[in-house]
Chains A and B, each alone.
Chain A
Amino acid sequence: MIQRVIVLTSGKGGVGKTTTTANLAVALARGGHKVVAIDADIGLRNLDVVLGLENRIVYSLVDVIEGSCRLKQALVKDKRVENLFLLPAAQTRTKDAVKPEQMKALCDELREDFDFVLVDSPAGIEGGFQNAASGADEALVVSTPDMSAVRDADRIIGMLESLGKSPIRLIVNRLRPNMVREGNMLDVSDVLDILAIDLIGVVPEDDNVVTSTNKGEPLTLNSTSPAARAFDNISRRLIGEEVPLLDVESLASTGFMARIRRAFGFKG
């Protein structure tokens, strides 16, 4: 077994950590790996609804840590995909209910049984993030290509580095190809220049993300929409496959010829 514990983080909130965790968890499980997704956003749980498992929750991560139930009892098994489990957060508690050592012990226990443990962290650099990161070996930093998100991502990367997480890789989410083409959005190469970490994938802005969340069916379950393909590719890069960047992903610097073609009215 590979047994990797990966935390999904961001400095700024709302950039897509939960969406990414859900989609990667499903994609990895569909690829034959045994996966557990942990919702470490205690008090503000969301991963359950994004995964569409909210009605099946009995116990939470806090119950396990406090010894009110066994770990196996708290794991919610997804019926749509083999090998996919959710360890939900408690909704009525605060992040203080958990200590980093306890989170670490929990991740180590899960490591015994799973190929991938994905930890959905709350935003920010405080207790909730420290808890979520404590059990992880590696990290995926999610950022949208805007000023505040990138700035805050830089802060989080610094903290992950000092916690010794490795590798730390970047996912650029909600890229809008049209705005990049017009030169009105930071492109992927800009973000990489600034943050100086490895890129593992780029997810375009995609309305299907919203509708799939409405239905509680992550895109990677069955869709072939642009975001679904991007998440799928990231999951394959995670297991070491060499997957070339999608068009939208490589939509970095647009060359001179492309600009000429566009100026003449050809599509870029």
Chain B
Amino acid sequence: MNFFKKLFCREESRKTAKERLQLVLIHDRADISPEVMDSLRRDLIAVISTYMEIDESNIELDLEREDRSVALVANIPIRHVRRNARPEEKGQ
């Protein structure tokens, strides 16, 4: 048992540390709090909805990390595009 434990399932606090650090640093580097992310999501939905009907419950909005930079990546499923969409038509 000990043999297999050593070989295959080393309990690695190292992995936990690395994952936690990576997460913490995404926010440290971008300096964006969860509250700010929520309000960004709401604003994005409002703006995009004036042009197209989107599937709000399936929006993915994430900060993606690459080396020293962070990108905001959004995946927003579209239900359909409004005909002659214009910002003024919002909420009609």
Q: Which of A222-266 contact B (CB under 8 A)?
A: 259-260, 262-263
For chain B, the count of residues having a C-beta within 8 Å of the partner chain is 20
Does B15 lie within 8 Å of A196, measured CB to CB?
Answer: no
A50, B13: Cα distance in complex, Å: 34
The stretch from A72-80, A129-137, A148-156, A209-217 touching chain B is A148-156
Q: Once bound together, how far apart are the Cα atoms of A158 and B70, in whole Å?
A: 13
Say whether chain B's binding surface is mostly helix, strand, loop, or mixed. Answer: helix
Question: CB within 8 Å of A: which of B1-35?
Answer: 3, 6-7, 10-15, 17-18, 20-22, 24-25, 28-29
Contact: B14 with A185, CB < 8 Å? yes
> B29: which A residues are within 8 A, CB to CB?
154, 158
How many cross-chain pairs have Cβ atoms below 8 Å apart between A and B? 52
A182 within 8 A of partner (CB): yes
Given A154-B25, A196-B67, A196-B68, do A183 and B20 touch, yes or no (CB 8 Å)?
no
- Whether A184 is near chain B, meaning CB under 8 Å from some CB there, is yes
Q: Is A138 at the interface (CB under 8 A from chain B)?
A: no
What CA separation (Å) do A184 and B11 show in the bound complex? 8
- Cβ of A194 and Cβ of B21 under 8 Å apart? yes
CB distance from A158 to the nearest CB of B (A): 7
CB proximity to B under 8 Å, residues A134-171: 146-147, 150-151, 154-155, 157-158, 161
Docked complex Cα distance between A194 and B21 (Å): 8
Assess whether A151 is in contact with B3, with CB atoms less than 8 Å apart. Answer: no
A186 with B28: CB separation less than 8 A: no
Contacts of A147 in B (CB 8 A): 17, 20-21
A263 touches B6 (CB 8 A): yes
Contact status of A184 and B7, CB under 8 A, knowing A151-B28, A194-B22: no
Complexed CA–CA distance, A196 and B13 (Å): 21
Verify if A109 is at the interface (C-beta below 8 Å from B).
no
A-B contact pairs, 26 of them (CB 8 A): A146-B17, A147-B21, A150-B21, A151-B24, A151-B25, A154-B28, A155-B28, A158-B29, A158-B68, A161-B68, A183-B10, A183-B13, A183-B15, A184-B12, A184-B13, A185-B14, A186-B18, A186-B21, A193-B18, A194-B18, A194-B21, A196-B68, A259-B6, A259-B7, A263-B3, A263-B7
Known: A155-B28, A183-B15, A194-B18. 15 other contacts (CB 8 A): A147-B17, A147-B20, A151-B28, A154-B25, A180-B14, A184-B14, A185-B14, A186-B21, A187-B14, A190-B17, A193-B18, A196-B67, A260-B7, A262-B6, A263-B7
Interface residues of A (CB under 8 A from B): 146-147, 150-151, 154-155, 157-158, 161, 180, 182-187, 190, 193-194, 196, 259-260, 262-263
